[in-house]
Structure 1
Amino acid sequence: MKIGIVVLNWNGLADTRECLESLKQINYDDFFVTVIDNGSDNYEAQKIKDDYGKFAEIISLPDNLGYAKGNNLGIQQALKQGADAVLLLNNDVTTVEKDFLGHLAKKLMVSGIGIVGPKILYYHKKDRVWFGGGDFHWWTGLVFHRGEGELDNPKYGNEKKATFITGCSMLVKREVFEKVGILDEEYPLYWEDADFCYRTIEKGFDLWYVPQSKIWHKVSQSVGEGSPKRTYFATRSRFIFMKKHLSKFQWIIFSIIFTFYKIPIKIFRSIINGNITNLNSFFKGIIDGLKYKIH
C-alpha cells in the first residue's frame, strides 16, 4: 500500500522539523511526504525546503487557506502521485513509533474499513492518553476522545470500532476520497474531521482505532487550548456541523440540551475563572454558526 503523508505547517517551523525528523525514522517502505506551508511568516517554507527538500515535497501557499483547504491540496497532490491511502498528520505530532504506519496500513487493508487512527499520547505527559478512539454524540453536539487525560492502560490497548477519528492523525483509503470527497472547506477551523468521518460512515465505511500504532502530540500548539479564538471557531463549526447533518428531531433535542445544560455550565465556568473574553467568543460562535448558510 503506497501512502502519501500530508503535513500542514503554519508558523510551526520547530514542530514541523521535529515531525519530519521522526518520520524519517519509520520502517514502512512505500510512503512519501508532502508538506503544505499555509502562508507562514519568516520564510518558513524555504527553510523547510532547504532542510528537507530531498525527503519531502514542499508546497508553499501565499496565504493561510485554513486547515481543510490546505489539507485538501495535499490530499489531491498525494492522490495524483498514486497514493493508495493518505495520512493526514498534524505537524505538532513530533514523535511517532517506527512501526506506527505499518500497523495502520495493515488494518486499513481490511475490506470495508475506510479510516483508521492510532493511539495518541500527550507529548509532554508521555504516559497519558489524548486519543484512544473516538465517538460522536449528536444529542450533545460533542466528539469524545476515549481515555483523554487518563494514564495509558490495557483498556486502550485493543483495536476498536469508532465513530470519530481525529484529523490529528487519520489514514484514509483512496476509495473513501473517491466516494465521499475531500474535507468540507465550509469549516475554516475545527469539526472538518468530524464532518469527514460522519460522511464516510454514511457511505458505508467503518472507522477503527488501532492502538498498536502510537504517536505523541503537542496538543493545541497552533491556536492554543482554551483561547478565545479556539472557543469561537470550535463553537461556530459545531453549529455548522449540526445544521448540516441533524434531522429536525435531532436538532430540537440538541438545542434543548445545549440551551439548558451546556450554556449554563459555560457561563458558570467563565465567571468562576474570570474569563469573560472566552465567554463572549462562545456566544459569538453560536450566533455566527446559526446565521451561517450551508452551501
Structure 2
Amino acid sequence: MTIAAIIVNYGTGKLILDHLIQIREELATVPGSHLYIVDNLSPNGDAALLTEGTTGMDDVTVIGAPRNGGFSYGNNRGFDQAIADGGYDHYYLLNPDAYPRPGCLKALLAFMAEHPKAGLVGSRLEGLDGHIQSSAFRFMSLESEFASAAKLGIFNRLFASKRVARPPQDEAHKTDWVCGASMLLTAEALEKVGLMDEKYFLYFEEVDFQRAIIKAGFEIWYVPSAHAIHLVGQSTDMKDGKQSAGTAPDYWYDSRRYYFEKNHGAAFADKADRAWAWGKRAGGLKSLLKGQGLSSVDRDIAGLEAARKRAAS
C-alpha cells in the first residue's frame, strides 16, 4: 500500500514547514509514500519558501500552480502530478493547518482493509489542548439550514436529528461526509468519481466530492482510532463560516449556492436560502433583546441574495 499526501497551500507555507517533520515521519511508516505540496500562487513568496525548505527531501514535491484556483483546483493539481508519477494506492488530503498524529495513517489503512466498501475515511481531529472536534457530518437539509443560521438552543434541540455536525464518538461509524482536513481515499474511488469540482473555490467542495463517492457505491466512514491535530481556522482565517472581520466572504455564499443547485436543483436552493434567512432573522431577535442591532444579519442575508443573483447570471 502506498499513499500520496496532498496539501494545498495559500499563504501558510511557514505553518506547513513547522509540522513537516511530523508529516514526513508519519508518511515514512507507509513505504513508497510521497508528499505533494501545491502552492496556489501565494503572493507572499511561499513557493520559494517551501521549495527551499524541502530541498534534498526526495519524499516531497512542491508544485507551483499558475493561479489561485481554490481548494479543489489545488488538490487536482496534486492528483494530476501523483498520477503522472505512476499513481498510488491511496490519497491523503491534509489541510495546511493539520498534521497526523503517530499511527494515524496505519489506522486508516487497516480500517479500509477491513471495510472494502469504504471509499473515503476521515480521522478524529483534535486541538493542541486535546479537545476533540466534530469531524463527522450529515448532509445539509432545510431544517439544518434554519437551525444553523439561528444558533438558538431551542431549534438545535427541535431539529437534533437533522443537525449537520454529529457529536464525536469513540467507535467508527458510517457518515455522510467527514471534515476535509484529514481524509484518506482509495485510488479506486478517485478513478470512479474523477477529480474534484473546480467550480468551488473554497468550502462545500469536500461535501460534494464525498456525495459523489457515495453515489458511486462506496461508503464514507469516521475512524476515531486515527488521530490528527487540526489548528482550526489558521489556513483560512475563518471559524464557523465567518472571517475574523465578522462576515463570510463571497466565495462562501457562492459555494453554498452552487452546492445546493448542483445536488438538489435551483428550486431547493431557493428554499434553502429562505430557511437560512429565516433562521438568521430568528437568531437576530435575541440580539434585539440584548439591545444589539441587526446589521450583521442584514449583511449575511444580503450576501445570500447576491450569491443567488451571481448564480443566475
Is the TM value for this pair above 0.5? yes
SS at match of 1:144: coil
Separation in 1, partners of 2:44, 2:171: 44
Separation in 2, partners of 1:294, 1:204: 32
CA RMSD of the aligned region, Å?
Answer: 2.8
Alignment partner for residue 238 of structure 1, among 244, 253, 256? 256
Alignment partner for residue 121 of structure 1, among 110, 119, 126? 126
> What is the letter of the counterpart of residue 9 of structure 2?
N
Aligned to 1:57: 61
Query: Does the 8 Å contact 1:270/1:279 carry over to 2?
Result: no
Aligned to 2:133: 130
- Per the TM alignment, residue 118 of structure 1 is displaced from its structure 2 partner at its CA by 0.1
Aligned to 2:39: 37
- Per the TM alignment, residue 197 of structure 1 is displaced from its structure 2 partner at its CA by 1.0
1:190-211, CA deviations, whole angstroms, 9 ceiling, x for partnerless residues? 0000111111111111000111
Give the alignment of 1:15-164 within 5 angstroms: 15-26=15-26, 27-53=29-55, 54=57, 55-81=59-85, 82-93=87-98, 95-109=99-113, 110-123=115-128, 126-139=129-142, 140-141=144-145, 144-147=164-167, 156-164=169-177
Query: Does the 8 Å contact 1:231/1:281 carry over to 2?
Result: no
2:300 is equivalent to residue 282 of structure 1: yes
- Per the TM alignment, residue 258 of structure 1 is displaced from its structure 2 partner at its CA by 2.6
| CA pair 192-248 structure 1, distance change in 2 beyond 3 A | closer
| CA pair 31-265 structure 1, distance change in 2 beyond 3 A | farther
Separation in 1, partners of 2:7, 2:264: 31
> What is the letter of the counterpart of residue 96 of structure 2?
N
Long gaps (5+) in structure 1: 148-154
Separation in 2, partners of 1:37, 1:104: 26
Query: Does the 8 Å contact 2:69/2:198 carry over to 1?
Result: no
Separation in 2, partners of 1:144, 1:284: 24
Identity of aligned residues (%): 24
Long gaps (5+) in structure 2: 149-162
Alignment partner for residue 178 of structure 1, among 187, 191, 196? 191
Query: Does the 8 Å contact 1:232/1:281 carry over to 2?
Result: no
Query: Does the 8 Å contact 1:138/1:254 carry over to 2?
Result: yes
> What is the letter of the counterpart of residue 45 of structure 1?
A
Separation in 1, partners of 2:202, 2:106: 29
Is 284-293 or 210-219 further displaced after alignment? 284-293
- Per the TM alignment, residue 30 of structure 1 is displaced from its structure 2 partner at its CA by 3.2
TM-score (norm 1): 0.85
- Per the TM alignment, residue 138 of structure 1 is displaced from its structure 2 partner at its CA by 2.2
Aligned to 2:154: none
| Paired positions, count | 284
SS at match of 2:280: helix
Separation in 1, partners of 2:139, 2:293: 28
Separation in 2, partners of 1:176, 1:277: 45
| CA pair 250-25 structure 1, distance change in 2 beyond 3 A | same
